[in-house]
Amino acid sequence: EPEVTQTPSHQVTQMGQEVILRCVPISNHLYFYWYRQILGQKVEFLVSFYNNEISEKSEIFDDQFSVERPDGSNFTLKIRSTKLEDSAMYFCASLEAVFSGANVLTFGAGSRLTVL
């Protein structure tokens, strides 16, 4: 079964450092998403990406965050200058967007980011 793959599975970084989290969505999918889950809290939407541009972003997704699909397969989330509160599990998801209605997001296993 096709899957969304994420790397790294765990990254530890110092506060103020740049971090790039990588995702390879399912190949025929058209919508891409990043979510995050701070330990013990709910899964929160960060950003959606369609047709090579951001289609929606939450208030969490400030200027420190950016997304990119540099080569048609990878989908990256960059945090420019990490803060302690960026420590979380980051999930990538993709969606085929079959317009008949079977719109189900497929999630990756997540990248755990620890900011010290």
Q: Which residues bind another protein (CB under 8 A)?
A: 6, 31, 33, 35, 41-45, 48, 50, 55-56, 91, 95, 97, 99, 101-110
Rounded Cα gap, residues 74 and 22, in angstroms: 7
* CB closer to another protein out of 82 and 94: 94
Report which secondary-structure segment, H or E, holds 1.
none
* CB closer to another protein out of 81 and 103: 103
Q: How far is the CB of 39 from another protein (least distance, A)?
A: 12
Give yes or no for a contact between 47 and 58, defined as CB atoms under 8 angstroms apart: yes
Q: How far is the CB of 106 from another protein (least distance, A)?
A: 8
Q: Which amino acid is at 95?
A: L
Report which secondary-structure segment, H or E, holds 44.
strand 43-50
Rounded Cα gap, residues 67 and 116, in angstroms: 23
* CB closer to another protein out of 53 and 71: 53
* CB closer to another protein out of 46 and 79: 46
